[in-house]
Structure 1
Amino acid sequence: MSTLPLVVVIPTKNEAENIARTVSSVIGHVEAVVVVDSHSTDDTCKIAARLGAQVVEYTWDGGYPKKKQWCLDRVRPEIPWLLFLDGDETPSPALLDELRSVFAAGPPSVAAFDIPLGYWFAGRRLRHGHTIVKRALLDRTRCHFPEPGDLDAPGMGEQEGHYQPVAPSAARLRSPIEHEDLDPVRTWFDRHNRYSDWEAWLEVNPSVKEEIRRVKTRQGQLFHKAPLKPLMSFAYAYVYRRGFLDGRAGLDYALAMSFYRWQIGLKAREYQRR
């Protein structure tokens, strides 16, 4: 198989630091690479186009569909299978090989694939303290992103929130997507400050929160109802998942995620007082 029969879609906004590596990791391996950009003010689009990616401008109108569903609906619709990559993600060589095996016999029977994420924090690949699986490879004819009623929520804007696309069937791949952000660590905190606004809003809108819980991963559904989330988050990442084996980066990550959960609780309590 010369090229994989899928389109890689990379939603971006100001990813000049990362986009060259992401585009280079897939160009030539798939039928098409499309960067869907939300009016970047840096050189994201120029870099992507120079490397051979198609660049499409995206403007959110404030309603549904949000950005990823818009991509499913409009970006190279003649190619049924679509792989989402963030602007700081690359498929591992092992994943590309695994995808060639998956598509060797023709279109897969399942509608989606869940792919593990190899997560980098503070310059180090976390081998223990972080586990997440992304439903990133989709047959657009059978999958869709939910519309949970969070348009009034702060924090996410044009992006779908922390939930999975809906698929009638899914399988899990073994090899990872590598998530390594080359931006300064302060951008991680900037993003998670916004994300915590959205999560806190869910705490005071329980019907929307419950709808989102149902479209999370099994791990996400369990954690959704856990008490004392900051402490549970730290204990899970650093102790249960043995994040201490990742050295200082493992400790930093466990503390950062615990702080993120504390932010959500604090902001939710502020909402409730209002």
Structure 2
Amino acid sequence: MLDLSVIILTYNEEIHIHRCIENVNQFAKKVYIVDCFSTDKTAEIAKELGAEVIEHKWPGNQAEQFNWALSNLAIDTQWVLRLDADEYLLPELVDELRKKLPMQLENVNGIIFNRRHIFMNKWMKRGIYPIKLLRVFRYGKGICEQRLMDEHIQLIEGHAVEFEYDFCDHNLNNLSWFCHKHVNYAIREAVDLLDIELDLTGAAETDKHKEISKQALQKRMKKHKYARQPLFWRSFAYFCYRYFLKGACLDGKIGFIWTFLQGWWYRTLVDAKIFEIKRTCGNDKEKITKYLKEKYNISLK
């Protein structure tokens, strides 16, 4: 086994958790499930597969939960892998991890993987693939960025290297679940864009200096540019970019559904939330901050 611990954050993930834990049990010394008091069989299945289950109340976002885990779990391995319950490593990446991880130089503190999306059981090869994410890091050398959306693992020191092969984001829930999830995401994404535009938290300027993956940093800078474009027009333009210029139109009907829902409908919903907030508060930072707390129970730190 590799000198590596896996941290998986869960809430009602019985549809995915068996697949995920079986996958990492191939190579990980320890698997931690940080659960938010699931009402299904998530914890039961995880324990049966040998994972250590820790219940912790949801603090409001992924970043806080993951960083709590880093600070409170009894991690005694050199490396940590962050994985979601609906994700798994392909066999080629498992083999690459086994061969290369023990050979990393001391100044290498992070490992970047390619993520591929499997939507309606089809690999979305075009549009946004591959997403490069820093998912493995030396314990004590990485933390999760404190933000509501689009959070990445950030290295405290050292640098990261890229591996060749992929892990998969493969959610097994239906389209209703997918759409409902994005409705919940929309307000957080709206706040993130408002923060970039109006600097509600003072964090926007620090993005360009963070030690995250090169692609993630480039994506963040593109997001800053996106935030300066006109509402509603930008969501349509983003859809056209992914569907036509990046070739998602070649992925058939499922490719259209994926790109339309995630690239246009969701982005339009985000803009509608921003429009709603600005219609009430204008660009007044204090009013927006108060509105977000009263209407959505979102506190900006």
TM-score of Structure 1 vs Structure 2, range by shorter chain: 0.7 to 0.9
Cα separation, 1, equivalents of 2:61 and 2:84: 22
Q: Label 1:267 to 1:106 Cα distance change in 2 as closer, same or farther (>3 A).
A: closer
Aligned-residue CA RMSD (Å): 2.2
Cα separation, 2, equivalents of 1:24 and 1:92: 12
Bigger Cα displacement from structure 2, 198-207 vs 61-70: 61-70
Deviation, 1:61, is: 5.0
1:265 aligns with 2:274: no
Q: Label 1:219 to 1:30 Cα distance change in 2 as closer, same or farther (>3 A).
A: same
SS across alignment from 1:127: coil
Q: Label 1:229 to 1:4 Cα distance change in 2 as closer, same or farther (>3 A).
A: farther
1:177 aligns with 2:167: yes
Q: Which residue of 1 aligns with 2:125?
A: 127
| Residues 103-154 of structure 1, C-alpha deviations (whole Å, 9 max, x = no match) | 2326653121221111011221111123222221122311122335xxxxxx
Instruction: Decide which of 235, 238, 248 is 2:243's aligned counterpart.
Output: 238
- Is residue 17–residue 45 contact of structure 2 (8 Å, CA) maintained in 1? yes
| Residues 224-251 of structure 1, C-alpha deviations (whole Å, 9 max, x = no match) | 3123331232123212221122111111
Deviation, 1:40, is: 0.6
User: In structure 1, what residue type is equivalent to 2:182?
Assistant: H
Deviation, 1:65, is: 6.9
Cα separation, 2, equivalents of 1:191 and 1:107: 40
- Is residue 34–residue 56 contact of structure 2 (8 Å, CA) maintained in 1? yes
Cα separation, 2, equivalents of 1:94 and 1:10: 21
- Is residue 204–residue 271 contact of structure 1 (8 Å, CA) maintained in 2? no
Aligned residues: 261
Cα separation, 2, equivalents of 1:70 and 1:248: 41
Q: Label 1:61 to 1:235 Cα distance change in 2 as closer, same or farther (>3 A).
A: closer
Instruction: Decide which of 40, 56, 59 is 2:54's aligned counterpart.
Output: 56
Deviation, 1:19, is: 0.7
Q: Which residue of 2 aligns with 1:217?
A: 217
Cα separation, 1, equivalents of 2:52 and 2:192: 36
**Structure (1 or 2) with the greater helix fraction:** 2
SS across alignment from 2:80: strand
Q: Label 1:106 to 1:113 Cα distance change in 2 as closer, same or farther (>3 A).
A: closer
User: In structure 1, what residue type is equivalent to 2:56?
Assistant: Y
Q: Label 1:62 to 1:189 Cα distance change in 2 as closer, same or farther (>3 A).
A: closer
Deviation, 1:174, is: 1.5
- Is residue 119–residue 130 contact of structure 1 (8 Å, CA) maintained in 2? no
Cα separation, 1, equivalents of 2:83 and 2:61: 23
- Is residue 5–residue 80 contact of structure 2 (8 Å, CA) maintained in 1? yes
Cα separation, 1, equivalents of 2:261 and 2:206: 23
**Structure 2 stretches lacking a partner, 5+ long:** 211-215, 281-301
Bigger Cα displacement from structure 2, 86-95 vs 186-195: 186-195
**Structure 1 stretches lacking a partner, 5+ long:** 149-155
SS across alignment from 2:94: helix
Cα separation, 1, equivalents of 2:249 and 2:30: 40
Q: How does 1:20-31 map to 2 (within 5 A)?
A: 20-31=18-29
SS across alignment from 1:101: helix
**TM-score of the aligned structures, taking structure 1 as reference length:** 0.87
Q: How does 1:1-274 map to 2 (within 5 A)?
A: 3-61=1-59, 66-105=64-103, 109-131=107-129, 132-147=131-146, 161-167=149-155, 168=157, 169-205=159-195, 206-207=198-199, 208=201, 210-211=204-205, 213-214=207-208, 215=210, 216-226=216-226, 227=229, 228-257=233-262, 258-274=264-280
**TM-score of the aligned structures, taking structure 2 as reference length:** 0.80
Q: Which residue of 1 aligns with 2:291?
A: none
| Residues 183-217 of structure 1, C-alpha deviations (whole Å, 9 max, x = no match) | 11222212211111011123333324625754553
